[in-house]
Structure 1
Amino acid sequence: MMLWLDSADSAAPALPAVWLIPTGASPRNLAERSELRRGTARRLLARQLGCTEEDVAIAHDPAGRPLLGLPAASGIELSVATRAGIVAIALARQPVGVDVERIEAPTAPPLDVLHADERKRLAAMPLALRPLAFAQIWAAKEAYVKALGVGFRRAPESFAVSLLSETAFRVDDPSHPTQARGHLRTMKNGGQEILAAAAIVLDGG
């Protein structure tokens, strides 16, 4: 079960949990996006752990995955993403990934970056439904590779995402023997844009 929250001032009663936080910010470059993610995550973690923001330090492993450096021995894994003024933060006790994607206008999505099974499913959909489905698939793929800790050094077409419902997806990955299941949500960013979010927690380390 995944708990979804929408304020950095809200503490989760249990993990895993995802916060989809509308900030109203419009970062102009990668540095500003990174600072927005980091600042929002530190505020949220301080609230969740019952400490001050000064007591929270976020580091990165060699692959770029964020790590909670302080407080030490918290046992919390995190993942962060930013899109269109929304900061997404996932916390769990196991490897976790989160992503959020903008649902674009109803045009043909770039099918060449997808697994063959995903391309077939999208091609079978009415054109009007493809933007949401593509955004959900891509968010799920990015959340999955973040949870793996490799990012898109892992080719996105090398594993397949199946949309099971409006709130769930499955990953079929030939490199891993078990199917992984994740969670989906759509939301508005306070303006006219609709965004698709995906989060997944992987068993084991």
Structure 2
Amino acid sequence: MYQPHVFTLTADGYRGPAPSWPAGAPSVWLVDTEQVAGTVRSLAPRILDVSELARVEKLAFRADRDCYTAAHVALRLLLGVRQGVAPDAVRLTRERCPSCDGPHGRPATGGGVHFSLSHTRGVALLAFADVPVGVDVERVPEPRVVTEIAGQLHPAEAAELAALPQEERPAAFARVWTRKEAYLKGEGTGLAGGLNREHVGTGPRPLGPPGWTVTDVAVPAGYAAAVAVETAGRALAEGHDRRK
């Protein structure tokens, strides 16, 4: 289980360390989006770009606006510290999609930093690395959601879920969903890559697709999360990550 860094804000911004990582390993940061909501609302107009601010305005619910704002303000603050630039000067782009070559692949920025961002009401996760990385956090779903979507998973994963007692299925489904989405985001295809392509498992220990290491991330009760990092067959350096 990977123990993330906790992102904290002062009244006028971030004053903590820059993300750092050994080769081939991720640096993962947890944001309590409700706790920092008031501060990021005041910071956002000075930090987010026009497209990000427009996206905030399109969200119907305040909780969703606060969550998106907190995640993107934290991303720009951490990247800015890492790159030695003001957060509003961080240049965010998209790589080409490996499936269709469209302009909607992995998010990217200058300076040799790979990153990934995920948020759901109350929590955001950010991951940084020197190699492609993906991260995902989700709320544990209701049982009906598991029933509706389980058939779209890899056949082995669907069978694993079906073999569990019904009360254990939501947590197991959340594990496999976040592992799979973290991997697909790291790969650059997202859910368009297909939920049934790779077997990452529903059990306590994830399985990594070839060339990737997938690790569960410790998050508050009621959520599940995972990070995936491209390792090209290398295991994460022992003693240099924050897994517990």
Give the shorter-chain TM-score range. 0.7 to 0.9
Larger RCO: 1 or 2 (CA < 8 Å, sep 6+): 2
Match of 1:175 in 2: none
The percent identity for this pair of structures is 30
Q: Which amino acid aligns with 1:17?
A: S
Give the structure-1-normalised TM-score: 0.79
Q: Which amino acid aligns with 2:93?
A: A
Q: Which has the higher strand share?
A: 1
Match of 1:65 in 2: 106
Give the number of the structure whose alpha-carbon radius of gyration is greater.
2
Runs of at least 5 residues in structure 2 that lack an aligned partner in the other structure? 9-13, 38-55, 96-102, 233-244
CA gap 1:75/1:114 in 2 versus in 1, 3 angstroms: same
Match of 1:4 in 2: 4
Aligned pairs (5 A) from 1:21-100 = 21-24=31-34, 25=37, 28-29=59-60, 32=65, 35-61=69-95, 62-69=103-110, 74-100=111-137
Contact 2:161 2:173 in 1 (8 A): yes
Match of 1:145 in 2: 184
Q: Which amino acid aligns with 2:214?
A: G
Q: Which has the higher helix share?
A: 2
**CA deviation profile, 1:65-94 (whole Å, cap 9, x unmatched):** 21113xxxx211001111112121100000
Q: Which amino acid aligns with 1:14?
A: W
Q: What is the Cα deviation at residue 35 of structure 1?
A: 4.5
Match of 2:21 in 1: 14
**CA deviation profile, 1:147-186 (whole Å, cap 9, x unmatched):** 1111122111122112453xx41134xxxxx263311124
Q: Which amino acid aligns with 1:198?
A: A
Match of 1:184 in 2: 216
Q: What is the Cα deviation at residue 44 of structure 1?
A: 1.7
What CA RMSD, in Å, does the superposition of the two structures yield over aligned residues?
2.7
Tell me, in whole angstroms, the C-alpha distance in 2 between the residues paired with 1:147 and 1:100: 14
Contact 1:42 1:57 in 2 (8 A): no
